[in-house]
A and B are shown apart, each in its own frame.
Chain A
Amino acid sequence: MLRVTQTKNALLDGATIAEDLYTTPKDCEEGFESLELPGKNPKKLSPLLRAGVLTTVRGSAYMEYGNTKVMAIVAPPHELMRATARRMNMGVINCFVNFAAFATGELESVPEREKHLGSMLSKALEPVVCRTEFLNFQLDIRVLILDDDGCLLSTAINCCGVALVECGISTYDLVTASTACIYRDNVFLNPTAKEEELLRKHRGGHALAGSENSSSTTTGAPQEHGLITTASMDTFDQLAQCQQCGYLSPGTYVKLLDYTLAINKSLRQIIRRVLTARIKEQHELDVREKAESALEDQRLAEIIERLGRQGLDEFIQSTIKEDPFVKR
């Protein structure tokens, strides 16, 4: 543990500060140094994705991104619960995000994050779903976070996109999402929880520490830090959602935005592959089922033909199998 050195504060008149055990900006710094800085070539992303993990619900999907594990469940639209929520010509989308009890180490902020993620998720999915098709209906989307290791929102959006297709809900396009963050001039694409924590919990404590040297005049350029989550629909180059937090100059914002859009494009390929594989699988099942039912039909036709040829009594006689026990 580190010790706080005396800090001057305008609100305090002549007080000395007791030494206390606390995390400091230095902690933050150490945390930063322990991170693997992104290289020139960003790491190859390899999300694992599966559609239709649960058998009892219509649409479900599971996605693993690094250590983040997310499951999305989409139920077919049902009638609106609250009549007041009704919108002219549009269906309503409700998203519920839940953390599994073991998903994250820090439980205190969970309800708040659940709310925030839920509201952002519905905002991201609203433009994707053809909401005009289920007027007066609501579509409930549930997301379960099994393990939290950063990029929760973007992974949840990806996962929901697949679950929507799996459920057979009409959508305008495939939706893909990714996250980029910047901290101390280092761009992290799809950051891990540790990287996000630096931004969120320490709230860029370092950013201030850096500017402290030139404190009173604050002439030094402020340390930018921030995180962008972008959801896009690439067929028409549309952004479904773009959420940012932190402190960014417009130039950096656009730079990060373009990074995420590039990742979204490559993610789209992966999602397409998964979906086509899933549909092929389904198709093969259908074909096999059809073949089996054709076989069954054939057998029945044979029996009927025999019945017609032999007459009823003879047919019964010939089809009764002798009971091996009675025989003895």
Chain B
Amino acid sequence: MAYVALSEAEKTFILHGVEEDFRCDGRSRRDYRPMELETGLVSNASGSARLRLANTDILVGIKTEIDVPDPLTPEFGKLEFFVDCSANATPEFEGRGGSDLAQELVLALENAYESPLAFDYRTLCLIPGQQCWKLYIDILILECGGNLHDAVSLAAKAALHNTKLPRVTASLLDAGVTDLIISDNPYDCTRLTIDTVPLLVTVCKIGDYCLVDPSAEEEACSTVSIVVSVSMRNGEAFLSGSHMTGGGAMHRDTMRNCLNLGLSIGEQLNTLLAKVLKQEEERVGPKRPKTVGFLK
């Protein structure tokens, strides 16, 4: 994580605040900072989203390609994540500085999306065993203000929702060779279902308490945090991956508390995101007039 210098007194102040359930900016332990979302702002990508969580700014673009499925999973399409911690997020990312963090984010996302129950890879299949879609999910970190995992996963999910795959028709030629015809009408496309796509929730342990959405200062105070990937299926929350990070250890019971907190927050975030995405779609309509982007 980006490094923040804090004095002992500031740390104490933050710690006491967490104990009081009243953090430095007035939030309780379960509150998120306000977020802002926009989808479909990159015209060259099949799907894109920008999410701003206080100072954390994430831009996700999804590109598509036709690929051959893995022999072991002939019916599955492919996903590939790439995280770019650009040096304008923090000077620390300059050179190879951001690569560790980028790798950690990629691993966390890959782990979360690994299960076919979390992401239905069959929807990316064109001809089993022969052709499938491969989605390149490129994540750009523009500004880094804490809680990257959550922001990145929210942005990725919104971008997946926004992704439009052109409709593909296949015609069978002789000798079992198929020919793919990709529709060039931009409105003739299929969308992905994102109901079960997981969200990552970072539950941070400060003192004896767990909290979500830590700011960069709070991250500096925490000894250990657990990243929980929450996927909703049939109205129930499932774990599609989790790991601990931050260099500390925790008790089994604390861990269970963190897990429960993460699951309940993940569930609420999921519904919130779904609601917002639907709302945006209704207001924007199928033909997007213009995007807000970075202006205003």
Contact = CB atoms under 8 A, between A and B. Distances in A.
Interface string A204-234: 1101100000000011011111100000010
Interface in B197-249: 224, 226, 231, 233-234, 236-245, 247-249
A123 to B, nearest CB: 6
A250 interface: yes
Contact of A257 (B117, B130, B252, B260): B252
A239 B250 contact: yes
B127 A202 contact: no
B225 to A, nearest CB: 11
B98 to A, nearest CB: 11
A15 B224 contact: no
Nearest to B97: A84
Contact of B247 (A17, A20, A127, A208): A127
A222 B234 contact: yes
Interface string A236-256: 111111111111111001100
Contact of A11 (B3, B168, B247): B168
Interface in B112-154: 114-118, 121-123, 125-130
Contacts of B35: none
A224 to B, nearest CB: 8
Interface string B73-116: 11110000000000000001000010000011001000100111
Contacts of A17: 127-128, 130, 178
Contact of A250 (B73, B117, B250, B263): B263
A27 to B, nearest CB: 9
Given A11-B126, A246-B240, A23 B72 contact: yes
A132 B86 CA distance: 31
Interface centre among A14, A22, A115, A224 (most CB of B within 10 A): A22
B244 A238 contact: no
Contacts of B288: none
B104 A119 contact: yes
B293 to A, nearest CB: 31
A10 B129 contact: no
A10 B123 contact: yes
A104 interface: no
Nearest to B255: A239
A9 B251 contact: no
A15 B123 contact: no
Grouping DSSP codes into helix (H, G, I), strand (E, B) and loop, the B interface class, with mixed when no group exceeds half, is: mixed
Contact of B126 (A12, A223, A245): A12
Interface string A67-85: 0000000000000000010
Given A203-B76, A203-B115, A261 B252 contact: yes
A254 B76 CA distance: 30
Nearest to A208: B116
A204 B244 contact: no
Interface residues of A, number: 66
B238 A15 contact: no
A253 B240 CA distance: 10
Contact of A219 (B5, B104, B234, B251): B234
A245 B249 contact: no
A204 B115 contact: yes
Contact of B237 (A200, A225, A250): A250
Given A11-B190, A247-B238, A208 B172 contact: no
A192 interface: no
B264 to A, nearest CB: 10
A88 interface: yes
A274 interface: no
Contacts of A126: 247-248
B243 A4 contact: no
B118 A247 contact: yes
A18 interface: yes
A207 to B, nearest CB: 6
A15 B176 CA distance: 11
A204 B242 CA distance: 18
B170 to A, nearest CB: 4
A96 B263 CA distance: 33
A261 B236 CA distance: 26
A317 B123 CA distance: 100
Contact of B129 (A4, A128, A223, A249): A4
B242 A244 contact: yes
Nearest to B245: A123
Interface centre among A11, A12, A87, A250 (most CB of B within 10 A): A11
Interface of A: 4, 7, 9-20, 22-24, 84, 87-88, 90, 115-116, 119-120, 123, 126-128, 131, 200-205, 207-208, 218-219, 221-226, 233, 236-250, 253-254, 257, 261
Given A128-B249, A241-B243, 14 more contacts: A10-B190, A17-B128, A18-B177, A20-B128, A24-B74, A119-B103, A127-B248, A203-B115, A205-B73, A246-B240, A247-B115, A248-B240, A254-B256, A257-B252
Interface of B: 3, 5, 71-76, 92, 97, 103-104, 107, 111, 114-118, 121-123, 125-130, 165, 167-172, 176-178, 190, 224, 226, 231, 233-234, 236-245, 247-252, 255-256, 259-260, 263
A-B pairs, 8 with minimum CB distance: A18-B176, A15-B170, A238-B249, A126-B247, A127-B249, A247-B115, A247-B117, A20-B129
20 contacts: A13-B169, A18-B177, A20-B128, A20-B129, A20-B130, A116-B107, A127-B224, A203-B114, A203-B116, A207-B115, A233-B249, A238-B249, A243-B242, A243-B244, A244-B243, A246-B240, A247-B115, A247-B117, A248-B239, A249-B238
